[in-house]
Structure 1
């Protein structure tokens, strides 16, 4: 199982993505060549050994997710030049591997064009089973956005891979393939936290979330140092359902409707039959008028 370097990492330029500005504490079992990376809308703890993230942290707000709705995916994947070549995944590692380049900070969360472009860094990716990426994991991402949209304040989200003791690898760079994924959601306004846990297989389906303390036990990472979120966390987690898309290596962008859309749909459903009736009446009147003119002529 992947663990990180002891102590808290230096994310001095992007501590806003962590609750109380405190990055996770991780216990070292080996040299993982850890490097913290800051982006506009998320932070990555990257391992030069696995050539993947150890975790990716986000701070979601309603306003951010509203802005994210209008952003278009770039689909321009790239190797992050801030990482040494020997410690990073390359595009060729994924090519022909049969695995998706699966986002950990989703494209659907990114509020600006630059943040969207940054989300396609391979430092934000892991080799993910295609159906898992496009359906089960996408469902978890969508449910997380829906919760953040209705939360009373900002919500902290930390996502990451979990590896076996002898992980499968892909490409000449030997990028590690995760066995599992987790997505931790923490709401400070309620002091509740829960974690989605799912196998990296095409057959995996979303299941009942696990508690924060169970996630810490399974990963060896203290994601919320100094905090003690409530135990009865799974009652707060949103309901999940599997979703699918045929858009290839893309995450479906299923966002909550804009304010007023429900009213607009209701008005359209009310007006449409009236308009259809009016059209039929006008057609009949015009036909009668044509017949009357013919008789009078």
Structure 2
């Protein structure tokens, strides 16, 4: 009887784990990447070959907390095997920023949450005219939409194409960046695909696309955990403009 009861408890715990998984992946993993980790504020899928995240995902809610200060504690990710890590020293060159994927200004509920956005696994080599312009502008808007809509879900990453440019110890530079913003309550999404170039925030509407297009160029599968009918509708639609 004791063995049966223990087995029952173990099975319940296991099923609970499968049912809930990572809180930052309520709609499924975009890919079973080499390294998948659920952090305090976001989930990450990291490619050992790319030495970069293929995707990061997080939820932004209407802010009800006092934000912590920006931690600025860039550092190697010791969860990644040594041979596949990136380092600050890789960026000791004159061109690229250490560009965040999971947005540090958005993930500021606790010191730990904000600090984890400064892990090098969350960085890609990003042109200053992209990072501080269109990318920052879209990060500002995702926070604005979280406030006005109550909650939005974000998936973002880089896309790599030959011929690849490298910095440091063979850290590749993305050819493109994507960002998907999903509003579950209204069953609406915005999907952006940018060339890695100097782009002004005022031109954001020019880079709206469909989730289907991003899946094609990235090889990832987004929002697979929602109802099939909703997924098919959301992924094929290209919004005519940003949300107000």
> Do Structure 1 and Structure 2 share a fold, with TM-score over 0.5?
yes
Cα deviation for residue 214 of structure 1 reads 2.1
C-alpha spacing 1:191/1:121, structure 2 compared with 1 (3 Å): same
Query: Which of residues 9, 17, 23 is equivalent to 1:16?
Result: 23
C-alpha spacing 1:14/1:125, structure 2 compared with 1 (3 Å): farther
Give 1:153-232 correspondences, 5 Å limit: 154-171=151-168, 173-203=169-199, 205-206=203-204, 207-227=206-226, 228=231, 229-230=233-234, 231-232=236-237
DSSP-derived class of the 1:23 partner: coil
8 Å contact kept, 1:143–1:238: no
Residue 243 of structure 2 aligns with which residue?
238
C-alpha spacing 1:112/1:106, structure 2 compared with 1 (3 Å): same
The alignment status of 1:46 with 2:46, answered yes or no, reads: yes
Distance, in Å, in 2 between the alignment partners of 1:11 and 1:107 is 29
Give 1:252-267 correspondences, 5 Å limit: none
The alignment status of 1:76 with 2:82, answered yes or no, reads: no
Cα deviation for residue 50 of structure 1 reads 1.1
Superposed CA offset, 1:152-178 (max 9, x none): 4x321100000003311100x200100
Cα deviation for residue 136 of structure 1 reads 1.1
Residue 136 of structure 1 aligns with which residue?
134
Give 1:85-124 correspondences, 5 Å limit: 85-110=82-107, 111-124=109-122
- Tell me the TM-score normalised to structure 2 length: 0.81
Residue 34 of structure 2 aligns with which residue?
34
Cα deviation for residue 237 of structure 1 reads 2.9
Distance, in Å, in 1 between the alignment partners of 2:223 and 2:54 is 15
Cα deviation for residue 115 of structure 1 reads 0.7
DSSP-derived class of the 1:36 partner: strand
Residue 148 of structure 2 aligns with which residue?
150
Q: Structure 2: which 5+ residue stretches go unaligned?
A: 1-16
8 Å contact kept, 2:177–2:195: yes
DSSP-derived class of the 2:185 partner: coil
- Tell me the TM-score normalised to structure 1 length: 0.67
8 Å contact kept, 1:11–1:37: no
C-alpha spacing 1:14/1:60, structure 2 compared with 1 (3 Å): farther
Q: Structure 1: which 5+ residue stretches go unaligned?
A: 1-9, 27-32, 240-297
Cα deviation for residue 12 of structure 1 reads 8.9
Cα deviation for residue 13 of structure 1 reads 8.4
Distance, in Å, in 2 between the alignment partners of 1:79 and 1:12 is 32
Greater Cα radius of gyration, structure 1 or 2? 1
Superposed CA offset, 1:111-152 (max 9, x none): 111111111000101000012111110001111111111114
Aligned length: 218
